[in-house]
């Protein structure tokens, strides 16, 4: 009987879990698509790179979709059983809520382990593919679009304007082309009454077949004031423009593989250890760097003369107006120049080391945050199940009405706490492990409270309870009207 009950609860959970997971993932992917729609459309990239980008991004969005689907599915499963009085029948047979939750807890541990393997091995590769592809898409040029009565500067080194275009889209009139490749201003101009725009077969060039036009060029030949102007007429002339820069090309992915988003736990641990060792060596490095700028010379003849002068004159207070009084006049300018140069070099060295230390500290925090993030996903799956299961048993409502609203509220609370903790960790306000585990630490007491309330058949989410509380305060603050006899 117990084994059949375990199978029943697992079957009841898996269906809503799979459905809500793919629905949540689809919503998150569509949100990404709408966010970057302007950068994806109109560049002639093709459908396959966009599909690849959506597939890779859907993989990277699993850490958001998985906890939400677990929370919603657990509320729906236990809420549906509570609405159909199945939980009441199970409890009346002597089976506690914790025993009833045990198969799903074991299943959640399995899901959490799978989530860790996925986060450690799959997501870094998906991040590398997705972010490198997104970088190429965002930096690719839009398709060439030459509009009438507008100058187009998308082709490097040229500014093109056409007066009008025929309905076929190829025939153009009143063509004006400025050639800026020599970086000398508007010294080269091409004018033509009409022509045709034709793309080469390999789509790498754009050919303007111009008719009845003029070429104007200005320049200097032999002297500053020797300026010439050349004008040439042509009946037919083909002007070829290189369109290779408009072709969508992929960047080498090795350029991105050292980023913290593209590393697994082992790689992150190695990098964190290297950064930690750097922090211990920084003071030695600074001391070695500033050593050449701090010198001591107590054996020179001038130094002996100064010491003798001090001893002869007596108290050092005699020379408290300026240290330069102790320096001979012949060496005073050299001493000042050397001191100024040393101070300038010393300050530059300290600024460079300070900036480098700050950047290394920021990198250390980012890598440490990413290391903890590999584990927080697994614990988030278990935590949100421990919140969702007792919530469903308490509210006793199935379907997508009340469970969906409550699931969104608790997930937004979890998500906001997670984002706030990560921001605080990146800002250095808290150490990384506190920031990344803050949402788990704060929500765990809520999960324990809900489990205890569900075991005791609490009615904290029933409408009647809040109506009684409202009526109680109403009776206190609103006096009853007395009748006058």
8 Å CB contact between 261 and 122: no
Mean pLDDT, the chain, as a whole number? 78
Beta bridge partners of 165: 172
Q: Who's near 87: CB < 8 A, 6+ residues apart?
A: 78, 81, 97, 100, 393, 396
- How buried is residue 433: exposed, middle or buried, by Cβ count under 10 Å (0-12/13-18/19+)? middle
- Model pLDDT, residue 330: 74
- Residue written as tokens 């490749």? 181
Position 399 confidence tier, pLDDT thresholds 50, 70, 90:
low
8 Å CB contact between 150 and 169: no
- Model pLDDT, residue 312: 45
pLDDT at residue 2 is higher than 70: no
pLDDT at residue 480 is higher than 60: no
Convert 373-393 to b/e letters by CB count within 10 Å (16 or more is b). Answer: bbbbbbbbbbbbbbbbbbbbb
Nearest-angstrom CA–CA distance, 163 and 166: 10
Q: How much is the average pLDDT of 292-321?
A: 47
Higher pLDDT, 67 or 46: 67
Return the minimum-mean-pLDDT range out of 98-107, 131-140, 461-470.
461-470
Nearest-angstrom CA–CA distance, 397 and 81: 8
Q: Count CB-CB contacts under 10 A for residue 239.
A: 19
- Model pLDDT, residue 446: 87
418 alpha-carbon distance from chain centroid: 15
Q: How much is the average pLDDT of 46-72?
A: 85
- Model pLDDT, residue 283: 67
Nearest-angstrom CA–CA distance, 216 and 87: 90
Closest by Cα among 192, 211, 196 to 165: 196
Give 426-433 contacts, CB < 8 A, sequence gap 24+.
Answer: 426/362, 426/365, 426/366, 426/369, 428/361, 428/365, 432/365, 432/368, 432/369, 432/372, 433/368, 433/372
Q: How much is the average pLDDT of 235-244?
A: 80
- How buried is residue 145: exposed, middle or buried, by Cβ count under 10 Å (0-12/13-18/19+)? exposed
- Residue written as tokens 């700050």? 358
Position 316 confidence tier, pLDDT thresholds 50, 70, 90:
very low
Q: How much is the average pLDDT of 9-30?
A: 88
pLDDT digits (tens, 9 = 90+) for 261-284: 888 888 888 888 888 887 777 667
HSE-CB of 133 using CA atoms within 13 angstroms: 20
pLDDT digits (tens, 9 = 90+) for 144-162: 667 888 888 777 778 888 8
8 Å CB contact between 407 and 68: yes
Please state the φ and ψ torsions of residue 47, each to the nearest 5 degrees.
-75, -30
Q: Who's near 207: CB < 8 A, 6+ residues apart?
A: 197, 198, 199, 200, 238, 239, 240, 241
- Model pLDDT, residue 320: 43
Domain boundaries, the chain: 2-140+373-443+456-475, 158-246, 253-368
8 Å CB contact between 464 and 107: no
- Model pLDDT, residue 310: 44
pLDDT at residue 472 is higher than 70: no
Closest by Cα among 422, 476, 389 to 87: 389
pLDDT digits (tens, 9 = 90+) for 211-227: 888 888 877 665 555 67
Q: Who's near 33: CB < 8 A, 6+ residues apart?
A: 40, 54
Beta bridge partners of 452: none
Nearest-angstrom CA–CA distance, 200 and 233: 25
Closest by Cα among 481, 457, 267 to 370: 267
């Amino acid at each position: 009987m117990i084994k059949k009950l375990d199978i029943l609860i697992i079957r009841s959970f898996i269906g809503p879990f799979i459905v809500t997971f793919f629905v949540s993932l689809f919503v998150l992917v569509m949100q990404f698509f709408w966010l970057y729609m302007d950068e994806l459309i109109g560049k002639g990239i093709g459908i396959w790179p966009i599909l690849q980008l959506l597939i890779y991004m859907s993989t990277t969005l699993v850490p958001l979709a998985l906890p939400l689907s677990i929370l919603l599915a657990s509320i729906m499963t236990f809420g549906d059983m509570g609405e159909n009085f199945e939980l009441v029948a199970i409890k009346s047979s002597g089976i506690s809520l914790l025993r009833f939750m045990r198969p799903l807890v074991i299943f959640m541990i399995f899901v959490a382990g799978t989530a860790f393997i996925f986060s450690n091995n799959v997501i870094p590769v998906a991040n590398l593919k997705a972010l490198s592809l997104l970088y190429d898409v965002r930096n690719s040029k839009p398709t060439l679009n030459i509009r009438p009565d507008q100058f187009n500067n998308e082709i490097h080194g040229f500014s093109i304007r056409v007066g009008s275009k025929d309905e076929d889209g190829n025939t153009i009139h009143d063509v004006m082309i400025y050639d800026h490749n020599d970086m000398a201003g508007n010294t080269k101009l091409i004018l033509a009454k009409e022509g045709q725009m034709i793309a080469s077969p390999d789509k790498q060039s754009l050919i303007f077949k111009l008719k009845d036009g003029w070429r104007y060029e200005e320049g200097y030949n032999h002297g500053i004031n020797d300026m010439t102007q050349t004008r040439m007429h042509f009946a037919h002339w083909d002007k070829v423009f290189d369109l290779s820069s408009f072709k969508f090309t992929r960047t080498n992915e090795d350029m991105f593989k050292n980023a913290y988003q593209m590393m697994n736990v082992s790689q992150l641990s190695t990098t964190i250890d290297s950064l930690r060792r750097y922090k211990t060596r920084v003071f030695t490095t600074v001391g070695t760097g500033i050593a050449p700028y701090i010198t001591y010379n107590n054996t020179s003849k001038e130094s002996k003369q100064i010491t003798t002068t001090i001893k002869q004159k007596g108290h050092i207070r005699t020379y408290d107006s300026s240290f330069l009084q102790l320096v001979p006049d012949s060496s005073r300018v050299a001493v000042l120049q050397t001191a100024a140069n040393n101070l300038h070099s010393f300050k530059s060295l300290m600024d460079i080391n300070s900036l480098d230390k700050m950047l290394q500290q920021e990198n250390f925090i980012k890598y440490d945050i990413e290391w903890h993030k590999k584990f927080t996903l697994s614990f988030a799956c278990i935590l949100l199940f421990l919140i969702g299961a007792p919530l469903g048993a308490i509210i006793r409502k199935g379907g997508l009405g009340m469970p969906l609203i409550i699931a969104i509220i608790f997930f937004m609370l979890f998500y906001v706490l997670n984002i706030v903790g990560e921001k605080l960790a990146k800002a250095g306000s808290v150490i990384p492990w506190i920031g990344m585990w803050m949402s788990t630490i704060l929500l765990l007491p809520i999960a324990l409270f809900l489990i205890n309330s569900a075991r005791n058949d609490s009615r904290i989410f029933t409408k009647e309870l809040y109506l009684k509380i409202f009526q109680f305060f109403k009776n206190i603050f609103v006096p009853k009207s007395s009748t006058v006899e």
